[in-house]
Structure 1
Amino acid sequence: MTNQVLVLGGRGRIGSSVAADLAAHTDAEITITGRDSGTGVPVAERMGQQVQFLALDLDDRAALEAAVARSSLVIHCAGPFRYRDTRVLKTCIANGVNYLDVSDDRAFTLQALACKTAAKEAGITAVINSGIFPGISNSMVRQGVEQLDEAEQIHLSYVVAGSGGAGVTVMRTTFLGLKHPFAAWLEGHWQMVKPYSQRETVEFPAPYGRAQVYWFDMPEALTLPEAFPVKTVITKFGSVPDFYNHLTWIVARWFPPVLMKQSQAIEFLAHVSHRMTGLTDRLSGIGVAIRSEVIGQKNGQPARYCSSLVHENTTVAAGCGTGSIAQLLLAHQLQNPGVWPVEQALPTDLFEKLMQDRGITIHHT
């Protein structure tokens, strides 16, 4: 029988990129969802006969249950995940359906990992934090760790040009990430750091070159120390052009905490930022660069393994990261009951093949 894939939030920028990747690399029948048929149906029609649209509100438990029960795989792309609970994952567990998401929030990640035993008992494989960062970035780290005899430090840096091709939801996620200090694994213990602090210059491949990055709360800051016995994990993020970094820093430092807790303020900042990047995208582009550096020991000597990636469209790259894992799940090449972040779920040999199939080149030093 033909696989049935349900992409929740598939009308959005990232969800539709995931659906497009699946349509290109599998013969699955894909259903994308959203609340509004008026905007959702045209998105599905542009993708061809392999994709259809379903109007669905995640708060409608009965409708969600029915949609999940008809599926071979559910891909959760309906963010921001800071506002989400694990009802979709739990519904998949109850119905014995494999699960994949593009979650990028620490609290949601902890909730999802708490479902590991239930997923294992139900015999379903659930992979969380897929996409570009987190997602492809996590696999780049695993690739580096496996090149060394002993890994001691992981340093992940990301830079996005303009909007990255993403919608307002991703802008919301960025500003939500500025609200609170977060725990980072530094020198063997958890330490609190401020978001968008400790500006650092990192050398990325062309066309980005030397770009500025700052501490940012990413779920891989939580999951990578659990996957690999390292002493330090650093996750930093920045924007191009650089004046967006300064604006974000101002929000993180000067906006009153009470104001940042109000949803109206987050919505205002997200929409203003989306309009601004819409104007500058023509000059900056909408691409992404990732740099992963793993420091440790090889043959008894200090060693460093660095890998980097550049893609011209951040949203398309995220679709490739999630779609590639979905492809493996549908082909039963990734079967490991439980709940796993990408770096624990995806073997390096499969990761390298999937990236090659999608024309994504990862450079190594």
Structure 2
Amino acid sequence: MKEKIIVVGGYGQVGKVICDELGKLYPYKVYAAGRSFQKAEQFSVRTGRKVLPLQLDVNEPIAGDFFRDVSMVVMCLDLQNTEFVHSCVNHQVDYIDITADYSVMSKIQEIRPAESTVILSVGLAPGITNMLVKQGKNQLDQVDSADIYILLGLGETHGRAAIEWTVDHLNADFSVFEQGHRKQVTSFSDGKRIDFSERLGTKKAFRFNFSDQHVLPQTLGLPSVSTRLCFDSAMVTSLLASLKRLGLLQWIKHPLIRKKVVDLFEKSQRGSEIYVAKVDVKGQLNGQKVRYQGAIRGEKEFVATGKVAAYVAKNVYACHTPPGVFHMEELFQPTDLFTDLKDILSFDEKILDA
């Protein structure tokens, strides 16, 4: 019987959260995998051996018998290509990926599994943001647009790979859906002011290339979706927007400058560990124009991402899910997710006149 759950990147920040959650439910069946067996072994000892160590490089060829006892893979690393995903699908292994990179996600979407379930958009953004928009759609009779706003605290210690992804997208050009048509936009432009809470106040958030805005027009049939980002430090957010406006962010592509910026974000502890995801979904209810506003708040974004991935994994592992490639909002209900996460985040919602 196939029982193994392999968490690739399982001894990283997010991976540890996933392994801890699944290890409690399925002790001795969960494997923290990565290129360093020593790090995997150290983490395994910390869990009392409920989570087992495994050396694995997903960018190298994988022997066919590797998947013999594997039921599920949870991917916490950014893949260079989709060969490993194809290997999982070819061996009837369920696959869950927390990537926020739509260039990777779009390639995985092209796979057609015969028996495996592949789930994408798992984490905070995408993930919780997708579910917040779905919650808004569930409340309204018609949806005209959805605006997503993400606030991240600069005091949180993020993994270097996550920081590199953010830095690489500071000067990105991308397209979004606006009234059913594609519109070309650029990161850290077109700022909008949004009230995040009494504690955080109003902050200006700017366009950013999160994958949720590319996915939701497909999965929920929305004509317009946008995602914007800001940090708890208004000074840092404004500085990046100013550098963008002056055309200076283009220099971030230079390897030396990129490294310096990544180092700066990695070492900076000036800020809080808070995160907020808020959506403003406009549409109609009972013939009236209204707007749904939903928000989640918590601390330590990596914990939220790990808990969401664990929620998806335990549901797929315990239940029969249909074969195919899905985004999280296509298989799960927002209220069930938010109830499961109530110990680590707060959720509130309201419907207002437009």
TM-score normalised over the length of structure 2: 0.91
Aligned residues of 2:76 and 2:98 also touching (Cα < 8 A): yes
Aligned residues of 1:166 and 1:315 also touching (Cα < 8 A): yes
Query: Given the alignment, which residue of 98, 104, 108 partners 2:100?
Result: 104
User: Which residue of structure 2 aligns with residue 94 of structure 1?
Assistant: 90
Q: Distance in 1 between matches of 2:61 and 2:2?
A: 26
User: Which residue of structure 2 aligns with residue 22 of structure 1?
Assistant: 22
Q: Can you list the C-alpha shifts for 1:130-171, whole angstroms capped at 9, x where unaligned?
A: 011111111111111011111111011000111533211111
Aligned residues of 1:2 and 1:27 also touching (Cα < 8 A): no
Aligned residues of 1:22 and 1:28 also touching (Cα < 8 A): no
Q: Within the alignment, does 1:299 sit opposite 2:298 as a pair?
A: no
Q: Can you list the C-alpha shifts for 1:314-357, whole angstroms capped at 9, x where unaligned?
A: 11011111110001011115x1211111122223453344334x
User: Which residue of structure 1 aligns with residue 316 of structure 2?
Assistant: 329
User: Which residue of structure 2 aligns with residue 75 of structure 1?
Assistant: 74
Q: Can you list the C-alpha shifts for 1:74-115, whole angstroms capped at 9, x where unaligned?
A: 001012x5xx22122111111000000101111111101111
Aligned residues of 1:13 and 1:165 also touching (Cα < 8 A): no
Q: Within the alignment, does 1:43 sit opposite 2:37 as a pair?
A: no
Helix, strand or coil for the counterpart of 1:59? coil
Query: Given the alignment, which residue of 168, 183, 196 partners 1:204?
Result: 196
Q: Within the alignment, does 1:127 sit opposite 2:126 as a pair?
A: no
User: Which residue of structure 1 aligns with residue 206 of structure 2?
Assistant: 214
Aligned residues of 1:5 and 1:28 also touching (Cα < 8 A): no
1:21, distance to aligned residue in structure 2 (A):
2.5
CA 1:31 to 1:195, structure 2 compared with 1: closer, same or farther past 3 Å? same
Q: Distance in 2 between matches of 1:206 and 1:69?
A: 53
Aligned length: 349
CA 1:180 to 1:200, structure 2 compared with 1: closer, same or farther past 3 Å? same
Aligned residues of 1:152 and 1:229 also touching (Cα < 8 A): no
Write 1 or 2 for the structure with the bigger share of helix: 1
Q: Within the alignment, does 1:194 sit opposite 2:190 as a pair?
A: no
Q: Is the deviation greater in 39-48 or in 324-333?
A: 39-48
2:328 aligned partner, one-letter code: V
Aligned residues of 1:20 and 1:319 also touching (Cα < 8 A): no
Q: Distance in 2 between matches of 1:24 and 1:202?
A: 39
1:250, distance to aligned residue in structure 2 (A):
5.2
Q: Can you list the C-alpha shifts for 1:259-290, whole angstroms capped at 9, x where unaligned?
A: 544555433321221012xx32xxx2212111
CA 1:251 to 1:27, structure 2 compared with 1: closer, same or farther past 3 Å? farther
Aligned residues of 1:3 and 1:28 also touching (Cα < 8 A): no
Alignment of 1:184-263 (within 5 A): 184-249=176-241, 252-253=244-245, 254-255=247-248, 257=250, 259-263=251-255
Q: Within the alignment, does 1:317 sit opposite 2:309 as a pair?
A: no
User: Which residue of structure 2 aligns with residue 364 of structure 1?
Assistant: 349
1:51 aligned partner, one-letter code: V
1:5 aligned partner, one-letter code: I
RMSD: 2.2
1:25, distance to aligned residue in structure 2 (A):
4.8
CA 1:360 to 1:24, structure 2 compared with 1: closer, same or farther past 3 Å? farther
Q: Distance in 2 between matches of 1:247 and 1:24?
A: 44
CA 1:288 to 1:70, structure 2 compared with 1: closer, same or farther past 3 Å? same
CA 1:206 to 1:2, structure 2 compared with 1: closer, same or farther past 3 Å? farther
Helix, strand or coil for the counterpart of 1:217? coil
* Residue segments in structure 2 that go unaligned for 5+ positions in a row: none
CA 1:69 to 1:215, structure 2 compared with 1: closer, same or farther past 3 Å? farther
Q: Distance in 2 between matches of 1:55 and 1:31?
A: 10
Q: Within the alignment, does 1:338 sit opposite 2:324 as a pair?
A: yes
Q: Distance in 1 between matches of 2:275 and 2:200?
A: 9
TM-score normalised over the length of structure 1: 0.88
CA 1:263 to 1:14, structure 2 compared with 1: closer, same or farther past 3 Å? farther
1:9, distance to aligned residue in structure 2 (A):
1.2
* Residue segments in structure 1 that go unaligned for 5+ positions in a row: none
CA 1:244 to 1:48, structure 2 compared with 1: closer, same or farther past 3 Å? farther
Q: Distance in 2 between matches of 1:246 and 1:170?
A: 21
Q: Distance in 2 between matches of 1:227 and 1:244?
A: 34
CA 1:88 to 1:308, structure 2 compared with 1: closer, same or farther past 3 Å? same
Q: Is the deviation greater in 37-46 or in 294-303?
A: 37-46
CA 1:306 to 1:53, structure 2 compared with 1: closer, same or farther past 3 Å? same
Helix, strand or coil for the counterpart of 2:292? strand
1:72 aligned partner, one-letter code: S
1:211, distance to aligned residue in structure 2 (A):
2.4
1:28, distance to aligned residue in structure 2 (A):
6.4
1:194, distance to aligned residue in structure 2 (A):
1.0
Helix, strand or coil for the counterpart of 1:110? helix
Q: Distance in 2 between matches of 1:237 and 1:247?
A: 13
CA 1:42 to 1:250, structure 2 compared with 1: closer, same or farther past 3 Å? farther
